[in-house]
Amino acid sequence: MLLVISIIVLAVGSFVAVSFNIVPLKYSSLFYGLVFIIAGVAATTGISKVVYSKMAKSVGEHNATSLSFIVKIFGYTLTLLVLFSYFKISVTAALAAGGFSGLILGLASQNVMSNIFGGITILTTKPFKINDRITVSTWQYGLIAPAYPPKFWSNDFIIPGYTGIVKVVSLIYTQIITDDNVPLKIPNSVLIQAAIFVQSDSNSRMVKVKYEIPKIVDPELAISNIGRNLRSLKLIKNTPSIKVLESTLNTYIIVIDALCEGQYEELPKSEIIKITMRTVNRLVKRSR
């Protein structure tokens, strides 16, 4: 209702401004055109928001976002076509007569258009949904080899990425709320080229824990005791795999792979480390 009233007030104000020569008559067409653009953009934005709010509960937030996006594309296109018609500009002639200025405009808007088409691609292919927890790793970044002690000879690799909950897919950006509770806006053109880990598609994840044990503790004894104690942890869904990964002068490093419930690894990882630490401390005391 407020939007309708605002557009009516804008139309009446424009008519009054031209009628009382506040705006010179020779500029009236340009003035009306500018007012129409403002009204068209405002109406499209308002209608898209109404569509989203009305449809979110019935068809879901993801589908409501898609419908809102389509309304924006249709509304902006219709506004542009009506504006061309008002100024008696042929769309075909406008495209043909663009020439150098059209080329400059095209180059200037290349990133904007790629983001818009990227948003359309995301909404049509649906690689993820609103409220999905995802990790975005862009193609520009590869695997990172750790280079800090004691990782010089490690076979580990780090996958750089941004993890969070998808909240908005707009014309230009997709916004996620990261695990640090910080809003992050990623250009759609980057997102459609990225590797996307959709963590919401699974209710469990593999958790890898490494632990360094003194060599005075027999590896077989350590593995059997840690495995037995980990079976009491309800977060773990399978029998954990425990192997000796590396060896140093006075210690060896074990790796524990466990399939755990949930989308987050911090809690199960913490519990696995605590159980492993208590088990190893008891074994060290016995060995001495």
Which residue did the predictor score with more confidence, 132 or 58? 132
pLDDT band at 91 (very low <50, low <70, confident <90, very high): low
Percentage of the residues of the chain whose pLDDT score is greater than 70: 72
Domain boundaries, the chain: 2-97, 133-201, 204-287
Mean pLDDT of all residues belonging to the chain: 79
Rounded to an integer, the average pLDDT of 150-158 is: 57
pLDDT band at 122 (very low <50, low <70, confident <90, very high): confident
Confidence (pLDDT) at 98: 53
The model's pLDDT over 22-66, given as tens digits with 9 standing for 90+, comes to: 655 555 666 667 777 788 888 888 888 888 887 777 656 766 777
Report the topology of domain 204-287. Alpha-Beta Plaits (3.30.70)
DSSP state string for 266-286:
HHHHHHHHHHHHHHHHHHHHH
Rounded to an integer, the average pLDDT of 241-268 is: 91
DSSP state string for the chain:
-HHHHHHHHHHHHHHHHHHTTSS-GGGHHHHHHHHHHHHHHHHHHHHHHHHHHHHHHHH-HHHHHHHHHHHHHHHHHHHHHHHHHHTT--HHHHHHT-HHHHHHHHHHTHHHHHHHHHHHHHHHH-SS-TT-EEEEE-TT---B---STT-TT----B---EEEEEEEE-SSEEEEEETTS-EEEEEHHHHTTSEEEEGGG-SEEEEEEEEEEETTS-HHHHHHHHHHHHTT-TTB-SPPEEEEEEE-SSEEEEEEEEEEESS-SHHHHHHHHHHHHHHHHHHHHHH-
Confidence (pLDDT) at 100: 47
